[in-house]
Amino acid sequence: MARFMDVHNGFVGVTAEQLREAHRRDLEAEAAEGVHFEHAWLDPQAGKVFCLSSGPSKEAVLRVHEKAGHPTEEIYELPVEVD
Amino acid sequence: MARFMDVHNGFVGVTAEQLREAHRRDLEAEAAEGVHFEHAWLDPQAGKVFCLSSGPSKEAVLRVHEKAGHPTEEIYELPVEVD
């Protein structure tokens, strides 16, 4: 399993409720791909969403987002992290 | 206190040890600005680093990264998050 951060653009003015609904759709779609979306953060002014996930591949992460209706090609694999 | 995600480019080929050292410099500089860098993730192939922090303002986050030697103008305020 690897970790991924994906980035969505164009979410200007999106509300907390809309982000929750989008994330709920990811959670419904993720099991079939062996992906888990752990967290999502929204900057509604810039229209950016960051999603942290774990799964087998970038392609699997993309397929979940496609099924959920919000695909993005900007997906980064994160083999290194610190806290 | 607000939360922020900042994004750095050009970190191609950076190692885990180099990321730890960069993060250590942030942790040394952050207290003076009331910022805390919670987590950083690296994609060494794309050269992307994502840093999650909390603090009073984007400007404070930027000043810490400047003092630590790795400034970035790409800082997003995150009033909404889900998990």
pLDDT for the residue A52: 98
Report pLDDT digits (tens) over A23-73: 999 999 999 999 999 999 999 999 999 999 999 999 999 999 999 999 999
pLDDT value at residue B28: 96
pLDDT in tens, A4-16: 999 999 999 999 9
Q: For residues A41 and A55, what is the distance between their CA atoms, to the nearest angstrom?
A: 19
| DSSP 8-class letter at A8 | E
Question: Interface of chain A against chain B, CB under 8 Å?
Answer: 3, 5, 14-16, 19-20, 23, 38-46, 48, 50, 52, 76-83
Instruction: Tell me the HSE value of B44 on the side-chain side, using a 13 A CA sphere.
Output: 10
What Cα–Cα distance (Å) separates residue B13 from each residue in B41, B57, B77? 14, 30, 28
Q: What chain A residue is nearest to B3 in terms of C-alpha separation?
A: A41
Q: What is the pLDDT of residues B28-48, one digit of tens each?
A: 999 999 999 999 999 999 999
Q: In chain B, what percentage of residues exceed pLDDT 90? A: 99
Residues 6+ apart with CB under 8 A from A70: A8, A22, A25
pLDDT score, position B12? 97
Q: How many CB atoms neighbour CB A21 within 10 A? A: 13
pLDDT on residue A17: 97
Q: Which among B14, B7, B75, B53 is positioned nearest to A79, based on CA atoms?
A: B14
Global pTM reads: 0.96
Query: Average pLDDT of B7-19?
Result: 96
For chain B, give the mean pLDDT: 96
Q: Among positive and negative, which fits the CA dihedral B56, A81, B13, A55?
A: negative
> Do A83 and B40 lie within an 8 Å CB cutoff?
yes
Residue B3's pLDDT is 98
Which burial class, exposed, middle or buried, applies to A25 when counting CB atoms under 10 A from its CB (0-12, 13-18, 19+)? middle
